[in-house]
Chains A and B, each alone.
Chain A
Amino acid sequence: MDALTRRRFLLASGVVAGGALAAGVGGMGLAELLRTAAADPSAAARTKKLVLVTLYGGNDGLNTVVPYAESVYHAARPELAYDAGKVLHLNDALGLNPVMRGMKRLWDEKRMAIVLGVGYPKPDRSHFKSMDIWQTASPVEPVTTGWLGRWLDGTNASPEAAVSFEPVLPPVLAGETRAGSCVNVGGMELPPGITVDMVAALGQSEPGEPELQARAAGAYRDLLRVEGLVRGAEQHQTSASPASEEAEVLTTGPGTRSVLETQLALVTRCIEAGVPTQVYSVSLDGFDTHAMERAGHESLLSRLDRALSAFVTRMARTEAGRQVTVVVYSEFGRRVRANASQGTDHGTAGPVFVLGPEVAGGFYGEQPSLADLDDGDLKVTTDFRDVFGTVLTSVLGADPDRYVGGGYRTKPLPLLAAG
Chain B
Amino acid sequence: MSDGIDLLLRRAGFGATAVELSAARQAGYDAALSALVAPPGPDVGAMSAPIPNLGPDAYAGKRDLTYEEKVKLEDLRTAQTEQITQWWLNRMTVASHQAVEKLVFFWHGHWATSVKKVRSPQLMLQQHRTLRSAPDFKAMSRKMVTDAALNHYLDGHLNTRQAPNENLARELFELFVLGIGQYTEKDIKEAGRALTGWRFSLTKGSSVFDPRAHDAGSKNILGRRGHFAADSLVELLLTQDACPRFIAARLWYRYGSATEAIPGRLQDKMVQAFPKPLDMLRALFGDEAFHATGGTMVKQPVEWFVGAMRQLGLRPSNLPPETRKRVLRDLESLGQLPFAPPNVGGWPAGGAWLTSAAAQVRLRLAGTLAEHVSVSSLTPENLAYLLCVERWTNRTYNVLRGTQDRRLLLILGLVSPDYLVT
- Are A14 and B343 neighbours in the complex by a CB distance under 8 Å? yes
Please, which residue of chain A has its CB at the minimum distance from the CB of B412? Answer: A198
- Distance in Å: Cβ of B332 to nearest Cβ of chain A: 7
Known: A209-B393, A213-B421. A201 touches B399 (CB 8 A): yes
Q: How far is the CA of A359 from the CA of B184 in the complex (A)?
A: 46
Which residue, of B342, B360, B395, has the highest number of chain A Cβ atoms within 10 A?
Answer: B360
- CB distance A11 to B335 under 8 Å? yes
Pairwise interchain contact A8-B417, C-beta atoms closer than 8 A: no
Assess the B67–A340 pair: CB atoms within 8 A. yes
Q: Does A408 count as interface, using CB distance less than 8 angstroms?
A: no
> Roughly how many angstroms separate A188 CA and B295 CA in the complex, as a whole number?
28
Q: How far is the CA of A27 from the CA of B352 in the complex (A)?
A: 10
In the bound assembly, the distance between CA atoms of A408 and B300 in angstroms comes to 38
Is residue B25 contacting chain A, with contact meaning CB distance below 8 A?
no
Which residue of B71, B352, B366, B394 is within 8 Å of A206 (Cβ)? B394
Interface residues as binary, B60-78 with A (CB distance below 8 Å gives 1, 0 otherwise): 0000000100110010000
| Residue B140 at the chain A interface, CB threshold 8 Å | no
Within 8 Å CB of A222, what residues of B?
Answer: 356, 359
CB <8 Å contact, A214 and B67? no
Known: A204-B395, A212-B350, A213-B295. 5 other contacts (CB 8 A): A18-B349, A169-B355, A193-B408, A198-B412, A201-B398
A163-B33 Cα distance, complex, nearest whole Å: 47
Nearest CB to that of A200 among chain B residues? B399
**What CA separation (Å) do A189 and B360 show in the bound complex?**
7
Q: Mark A194-208, 1 if CB is under 8 A from B, else 0.
A: 100011011011100
Q: Are B351 and A16 in contact (CB under 8 A)?
A: no
With CB as the reference atom, state the residue of chain B lying closest to A292: B67
Chain A to chain B: the 8 pairs with minimum beta-carbon distance, closest first? A191-B367, A210-B295, A222-B356, A216-B417, A27-B356, A219-B359, A14-B343, A341-B67
Q: Is the CB of B396 within 8 A of A202?
A: yes
Beta-carbon contacts under 8 Å, B336-362 to A: 340, 342-345, 348-352, 354-360
Q: Is the CB of A199 within 8 A of B394?
A: no
Q: Does residue B333 face the partner (Cβ distance < 8 Å to A)?
A: yes
Question: In the bound complex, what is the Cα–Cα distance between A92 and B399 (angstroms)?
Answer: 69
A212 pairs with B407, CB closer than 8 A: no
Instruction: Give a binary string over B296-315; 1 marks a CB under 8 Å from any A CB, 0 the rest.
Output: 11100000000000000000
Q: Are A16 and B352 in contact (CB under 8 A)?
A: yes
> DSSP majority for the B interface?
helix
Cα separation A321 to B145 with both chains bound (whole Å) = 55
Can you pick out 30 interface pairs between chain A and chain B where the beta carbons lie within 8 Å of each other?
A1-B71, A12-B116, A12-B340, A17-B352, A18-B349, A22-B351, A22-B352, A128-B117, A169-B355, A182-B357, A184-B357, A190-B363, A191-B411, A193-B407, A193-B408, A201-B395, A201-B399, A202-B399, A205-B395, A206-B394, A212-B350, A212-B421, A213-B418, A213-B421, A215-B351, A215-B354, A216-B417, A217-B417, A220-B359, A223-B356
Q: Once bound together, how far apart are the Cα atoms of A219 and B359, in whole Å?
A: 6
**Nearest CB of B to A10, in Å:** 9
Which residues from B are CB-within-8-Å of A189? 360, 364
Question: Is B355 a contact of A182 with CB atoms below 8 Å?
Answer: yes
A1 to B72, CA, bound (A): 11
| Residue numbers in B under 8 Å from A341 (CB-CB) | 67
Q: Which of B348, B394, B399, B417 is within 8 Å of A214, CB to CB?
A: B417
Residues of A within 8 A of B295 (CB): 209-210, 212-213
The verdict on A85 contacting chain B, using a C-beta distance below 8 Å, is no
Per-position contact with A for B393-422: 1 when CB-CB < 8 Å, else 0? 111101100110101100110011110110
Interface check B259, CB cutoff 8 A:
yes
- B352 and A202 contacting across the interface, CB-CB below 8 Å: no
Cα distance A278–B358 when bound, in Å?
A: 26
A-chain residues with CB within 8 Å of residue B405 when the two chains form the complex: 193
Q: Is B114 an interface residue (CB 8 A)?
A: yes
B370 at the interface (CB under 8 A from A): yes
Roughly how many angstroms separate A143 CA and B65 CA in the complex, as a whole number? 38
Give the contacts of A329-375 with B (CB-CB under 8 A): 340-341
Q: How distant is A133 from chain B, measured CB to nearest CB, in Å?
A: 14
| Residues in B neighbouring A26, C-beta threshold 8 A | 355
CA distance A64 to B359 in the complex (A): 39
Chain B positions 366-405 with a Cβ under 8 Å from a chain A Cβ = 366-367, 370, 393-396, 398-399, 402-403, 405
**Chain A residues positioned under 8 Å from B366 (CB to CB):** 191
Report which of B74, B343, B398 forms a contact with A1, defined as CB distance below 8 A: B74
Q: Could you tell me the distance between the alpha carbons of A2 and B348 in the complex, rounded to whole angstroms?
A: 25
B351/A184 in contact, CB under 8 A: no
Per the bound structure, the CA–CA distance linking A213 and B357 in Å amounts to: 17
Q: A1-B74, A13-B343, A202-B396 are in contact. Are A219 and B67 (CB under 8 A)?
A: no
* Size of A's binding interface in residues, CB under 8 A: 54
A interface vs B, CB < 8 Å?
1-2, 8, 11-14, 16-18, 21-22, 24, 26-27, 29, 126, 128, 167-169, 182, 184, 188-194, 198-199, 201-202, 204-206, 209-210, 212-220, 222-223, 226, 291, 340-341
Closest CB in chain A relative to B414 CB, distance in Å: 11
Complex interface: chain A residues within 8 A of B351 (CB)? 21-22, 24, 212, 215
Interface size on B, residues (CB 8 A): 57
Indicate which residue in A27, A126, A184, A216 contacts B421 across the interface (CB closer than 8 Å).
A216
Shortest beta-carbon distance, B338 to chain A, in Å?
A: 13
Contacts of A22 in B (CB 8 A): 259, 350-352
For the complex, give the distance between the alpha carbons of A29 and B415 in Å: 20
Residues of B with C-beta under 8 A to A202: 395-396, 399, 412, 415-417
A313 to chain B, nearest CB (A): 31
Check B356–A217 contact: CB distance below 8 A.
no
Rounded to whole Å, the gap between the CB of B242 and the closest CB of chain A is: 21
Verify A14–B398 contact, CB threshold 8 A.
no
- What's the minimum C-beta distance from B78 to chain A, rounded to whole angstroms? 10
| Contact present for B352 and A194 (CB under 8 Å) | no
Q: Which residues of B contact A219 (CB under 8 A)?
A: 354-356, 358-359
A14 pairs with B345, CB closer than 8 A: yes
Nearest CB in chain B: distance from A60 CB, A: 17
Most buried by A among B366, B395, B407: B395
Nearest chain-A residue to B75 (Cβ)?
A1
Q: B356, A1: Cβ atoms under 8 Å?
A: no
Q: How far is the CA of A191 from the CA of B418 in the complex (A)?
A: 20
> How far apart are A256's CB and chain B's nearest CB, in angstroms?
24
Given contacts A212-B296, A213-B418, A223-B359, contact A191 B335 (CB under 8 A): no
Which A residues touch B402, using CB under 8 A?
198, 201
A305 to B333 alpha-carbon distance, docked (Å): 29
**Across-interface contacts of B352 in A (CB, < 8 A):** 16-18, 21-22
Across the interface, which residues of B come within 8 angstroms of A213, CB to CB?
A: 295, 393, 417-418, 420-421
Name A22's closest neighbour in chain B (CB-CB): B351
- Once A29-B356, A168-B357, A209-B417 are accepted as A-B contacts, the answer to whether A194 and B411 lie under 8 Å apart by CB is yes
| Bound: A216/B73 CA distance, A | 42
Smallest CB separation, A321 vs chain B (Å)? 28
Q: Is B364 touching A191 in the complex (CB atoms < 8 A)?
A: yes
Provide the bound-state CA to CA distance between A13 and B352, in Å.
14
A184 to B416, CA, bound (A): 21
Asked if residues B408 and A194 are in contact (CB atoms below 8 Å), the reply is: yes
State the CA gap A167–B366 with chains docked (Å). Answer: 19
The distance in angstroms between the C-alpha atoms of A16 and B345, with both chains bound, is 11
Query: How far, in angstroms, from A222 to B360 measured CA to CA in the complex?
Result: 10
Measured in the bound complex, the distance between the Cα atoms of B141 and A229 in whole Å is 52
